[in-house]
Amino acid sequence: EHGDHVGNKGVIGPGGVQWMTAGRGIVHSEFPKSKGDEMLWGFQLWINLPAKDKMCRPRYQDYQADSIPVAEVSGSTGCSV
């Protein structure tokens, strides 16, 4: 569950992702939500923006698994992109 000081809120489900650009600053919180003793796994990737983009407006977007395209690859089960 995501919440931030500019009013963005979101909950991502299994296979979903969130994209947050801190830009000139954003105060946020992330709280994992599970059903009972369910094990949760997450992954974070931080990218250093080019100097010209560092002071951009903060942004947040979440994407649920069913909205993420899957590329069919010959001899494979597919790849989410």
d(Cα 74, Cα 31) in Å, to the nearest integer? 38
Whether residue 76 is predicted with pLDDT greater than 70 in this model: the reply is no
Asked if 68 and 12 count as a contact pair (C-beta separation under 8 A), the reply is no
Provide the whole-model pTM: 0.68
Strand pairing report for 17-21 and 28-30: unpaired
> Which residue has tokens 């946020």?
28
Whether residue 81 is predicted with pLDDT greater than 70 in this model: the reply is no
d(Cα 38, Cα 60) in Å, to the nearest integer? 26
Q: Kindly report, residue by residue over 9-64, the tens digit of the pLDDT.
A: 988 888 888 888 988 888 988 888 777 788 878 888 888 999 999 999 999 999 99
Q: Is the dihedral of CA 49, 55, 43, 8 positive or negative?
A: negative
For the record, the structure tokens of 18 come out as 């969130």
Residue 67's pLDDT band, with cuts at 50, 70 and 90, is very high
d(Cα 81, Cα 73) in Å, to the nearest integer? 12
